[in-house]
Amino acid sequence: MTQISHDRLLIIDFGSQVTQLIARRLRELNVYCEIHPYQKVTDASLKEFAPKAIIFSGGPDSVMREGSPRPPKAAYEMGVPILGICYGQQVMMHDLGGRVEAGEHATAEFGRAYVTPTENRPEFLKGWFMDGTGKEQVWMSHGDHVAEIAPGFEVYGTSPGAPFAITADLSRNFYAVQFHPEVHHTPNGATLYENFVRLAGFTGDWTMGAYREEMIAKIREQVGDSHVICGLSGGVDSSVTAILLHEAIGDQLTCVFVDHGLLRLNEATEVVKMFRDNYNIKLIHADESDLFLGELEGVSDPETKRKTIGKLFIDVFQKYASEIEDAEFLAQGTLYPDVIESVSFSGGPSVTIKSHHNVGGLPEKMGLKLVEPLRELFKDEVRALGHELGLPASFIGRHPFPGPGLAIRCPGEITREKLDILRKADAVYIDQIRKHGLYDDIWQAFAAILPMRTVGVMGDGRTYDYALALRAVTSVDGMTADYYPFSHEFLGETSTRIINEVKGVNRVFYDCTSKPPGTIELE
Ligand code: XMP
């Protein structure tokens, strides 16, 4: 395997809820880093990873508890800078000869606190304590506290509950803070990471241009002369995966776009056209709408719908994939948060549903190996890579669209008539959102057709037509969401446009349920 040539920073995770944010802050500084759970960090793995600096994350445990998490001793002996955060500070002090005491009410701190500096200001604090107040707001979350610092360390900042809020051994480039600089509530926290990586000698060489070149080399090495298949949904992850692979291996890649008849208005044509016009990628446009809609006839239970679609998707994908000679690899758009979740020692409970789950089960069934070129990236980095690869902005910024498509936006039985109405109404709704400049403020917006007809009056006649629900939410990751607060004018105008322009709808509701208790999709 090609080794990544960047300077690498290792984050040893002791189980903090916010460890991922440390990685975010570092990536924003163009520093390549990886999070490894503490149990997996050994002398040998440290040597192999060869970090240029190490960060110890926070964590929920107490260093005084027998068997609580520790970094390997070798971490302190590698001669590289270390930054300890919260539990990471305590573990460092404890390991290096200081003393930690159990939390007492008077010294525990949770939430906002203010740190004031001592007389000496090391380079690590460059840019801090500059706004005239003489203090910095920080976010604390600790029960235990350091009672005695380790030999060689000095104190550079204190807070009412943490007399050793900022400490450092400048001769060894070891820094240790009691608060969390990675969170939003430490407003100047990013500066500390910037100072730390500068002191550690990082040059900020983690750029998308460099990543693209590296990944291309890695893919070529992994795949050799074999053939790769890639399920293309038109979403940003699968599109970026496909384009990157195409740059790497050209004709050895075949993409399969499965049209299950549950796509939005003109979606199949647009995705296929975008790929055919802009990229010379071998693309199979599998129109299987009759198969899917046939199997879904009369099905109204949400779980049965999902299972039927999931099973058919695998069958269809397998049918096309097995026609491709020498197919040895399946490309997936797995992202870094999925990778972290799956190795997290705290066993993060979240299940992120992603489009590539649509082909889950295939690799084992067909004996395919996986190519996952995005597995080191966060979602916004995938967008940046898409931009770097020249993917049109309209594709990069698209709202997520679920694998089961319109089926889960059509509660009750699915009919072609309902799907037609839904497609048209959804297109008007999205057009309204775009015209009002709101598209990029919203995580996801769509229309759903409700399993009911209501009475209305249009002109001088009675109507008995479908009711429609409009949904729009803001979210960071789709796990929780708030409904979007449209103005009444917007809602009124949109409702009028839909009823005037889409035959078959005579009533429009706006769904103002957040998640939880609702989910984003209706089913
Ligand atoms: P829910 O409805 O669970 O949706 O709040 C959260 C996010 O996941 C998307 N979603 C899916 N995506 N296959 C997908 O590819 C699925 O089966 C699926 N179900 C929900 C949903 O659109 C939202 O972005």
CATH code of residue 168: 3.40.50.880
In a domain, 434, yes or no: yes
Return binding residues.
233-239
Residue nearest atom 6 in ligand 1 by C-alpha distance: 478
Indicate if 30 and 59 belong to the same structural domain.
yes
Which pLDDT score, from 0 to 100, does residue 155 have?
97
User: With 0-12 CB in 10 A as exposed, 13-18 as middle and 19+ as buried, what is 431?
Assistant: middle
Which pLDDT score, from 0 to 100, does residue 5 have?
63
Q: Is residue 181 reached through a cis peptide bond, with omega within 30 degrees of 0 on the bond before it?
A: no
Structure tokens at 362: 């295939």
Which pLDDT score, from 0 to 100, does residue 112 have?
85
Indicate if 148 and 286 belong to the same structural domain.
no
Residue 365: pLDDT band by 50, 70, 90 thresholds?
A: confident
Q: Which domain holds residue 439?
A: 415-510
Q: Is residue 516 reached through a cis peptide bond, with omega within 30 degrees of 0 on the bond before it?
A: yes
In a domain, 49, yes or no: yes
User: With 0-12 CB in 10 A as exposed, 13-18 as middle and 19+ as buried, what is 25?
Assistant: buried
Distance CA 265, CA 423 (A): 5
Which pLDDT score, from 0 to 100, does residue 101 have?
87
Structure tokens at 363: 């690799």
151 C-alpha vs ligand 1 centroid, how far in Å?
Answer: 53
Interval 461-511: pLDDT, tens: 999 999 999 999 998 777 778 999 999 999 999 999 999 999 999 999 999
In a domain, 410, yes or no: no
164 C-alpha vs ligand 1 centroid, how far in Å?
Answer: 45
Task: Indicate the average pLDDT of the chain.
Answer: 90
Which pLDDT score, from 0 to 100, does residue 348 have?
33
Indicate if 309 and 328 belong to the same structural domain.
yes
Q: Where a domain ends, among 365, 396, 427?
A: 396
In a domain, 520, yes or no: no
Question: Any residues with CB less than 8 A from the CB of 167 and at least 6 apart, and which?
Answer: 89, 93, 146, 149, 153, 154, 155, 156, 175, 176, 177
Interval 184-227: pLDDT, tens: 889 999 999 999 999 999 999 888 998 899 899 999 999 999 99
Residue nearest atom 20 in ligand 1 by C-alpha distance: 402
Q: Which atom of ligand 1 is nearest to the CA of 306?
A: 17
Largest Cα separation within the chain, whole Å, is 89
Length of the chain: 523
What does each C-alpha distance from 370 to 222, 309, 363 come to in angstroms? 10, 23, 7
Which pLDDT score, from 0 to 100, does residue 335 have?
82
Distance CA 356, CA 511 (A): 28
Give the residues across from 258 on adjacent strands: 286
Structure tokens at 491: 């809602």
Closest residue by Cα to residue 72 from 51, 54, 46, 36: 46
The CB of 519 under 6 Å from ligand 1? The reply is: yes
Residue 346: pLDDT band by 50, 70, 90 thresholds?
A: very low
Interval 113-170: pLDDT, tens: 999 999 989 999 999 999 889 999 999 887 788 899 999 999 999 998 888 999 999 9
Q: Which atom of ligand 1 is nearest to the CA of 356?
A: 15
The CB of 520 under 6 Å from ligand 1? The reply is: yes
Element of type H or E holding 507: strand 505-510
Closest residue by Cα to residue 40 from 32, 29, 48, 30: 48
Q: Is 58 helix (H, G, I), strand (E, B) or coil?
A: coil
Indicate if 66 and 93 belong to the same structural domain.
yes
Interval 287-322: pLDDT, tens: 999 999 999 999 999 999 998 998 898 889 889 888
Indicate if 224 and 269 belong to the same structural domain.
yes
Q: Which atom of ligand 1 is nearest to the CA of 352?
A: 8
Interval 369-417: pLDDT, tens: 999 999 878 888 899 999 999 998 888 989 989 889 999 999 999 999 9
Q: Where a domain ends, among 199, 227, 244?
A: 199
Closest residue by Cα to residue 76 from 193, 172, 7: 172
Indicate if 365 and 332 belong to the same structural domain.
yes
Residue 337: pLDDT band by 50, 70, 90 thresholds?
A: low
Which pLDDT score, from 0 to 100, does residue 21 have?
86
Which pLDDT score, from 0 to 100, does residue 338 have?
66
Which pLDDT score, from 0 to 100, does residue 145 have?
84
Indicate if 57 and 171 belong to the same structural domain.
yes
Structure tokens at 250: 């050209």
| Distance linking the first and last C-alpha atoms of the chain | 43
- Does residue 410 contact residue 389 with C-beta atoms inside 8 Å? no
Indicate if 366 and 419 belong to the same structural domain.
no
Indicate if 243 and 390 belong to the same structural domain.
yes
- Does residue 468 contact residue 494 with C-beta atoms inside 8 Å? no
**CATH number assigned to the domain comprising residue 316:** 3.40.50.620
In a domain, 498, yes or no: yes
- Give just the sign of the alpha carbon dihedral 349, 354, 358, 363: negative
Return binding residues for ATP.
233-239
240 C-alpha vs ligand 1 centroid, how far in Å?
Answer: 20
Distance CA 375, CA 377 (A): 6
Distance CA 309, CA 314 (A): 9
Q: Which atom of ligand 1 is nearest to the CA of 444?
A: 24
Q: Active-site positions?
A: 86, 180, 182
**Per-residue exposure over 196-214, b if at least 16 CB sit within 10 Å of its own CB, e if not:** bbebbebeeebebebbbeb
Give the residues across from 482 on adjacent strands: 474
Distance CA 65, CA 85 (A): 18
408 C-alpha vs ligand 1 centroid, how far in Å?
Answer: 9
- Does residue 300 contact residue 415 with C-beta atoms inside 8 Å? no
Which amino acid makes up residue 407?
A: A
Indicate if 185 and 83 belong to the same structural domain.
yes
- Give just the sign of the alpha carbon dihedral 444, 446, 451, 452: positive
In a domain, 408, yes or no: no
Distance CA 2, CA 373 (A): 13
The CB of 235 under 6 Å from ligand 1? The reply is: no
- Does residue 17 contact residue 180 with C-beta atoms inside 8 Å? no
352 C-alpha vs ligand 1 centroid, how far in Å?
Answer: 8
The CB of 521 under 6 Å from ligand 1? The reply is: yes
Residue with tokens 């707001």: 137
Residue nearest atom 22 in ligand 1 by C-alpha distance: 402
Distance CA 181, CA 134 (A): 18
Which pLDDT score, from 0 to 100, does residue 354 have?
28
Which pLDDT score, from 0 to 100, does residue 376 have?
79
Average of per-residue pLDDT across 358-371: 74
Indicate if 289 and 185 belong to the same structural domain.
no
Instruction: With a cut of 70, say whether residue 523 has pLDDT above it.
Output: yes
> Could you give the number of structural domains in the chain?
3
Indicate if 382 and 256 belong to the same structural domain.
yes
Distance CA 283, CA 253 (A): 9
DSSP 186: S
In a domain, 330, yes or no: yes
Q: Mutate which of 521, 522, 523 to test ligand 1's pocket (most atoms within 8 Å of Cβ)?
A: 521
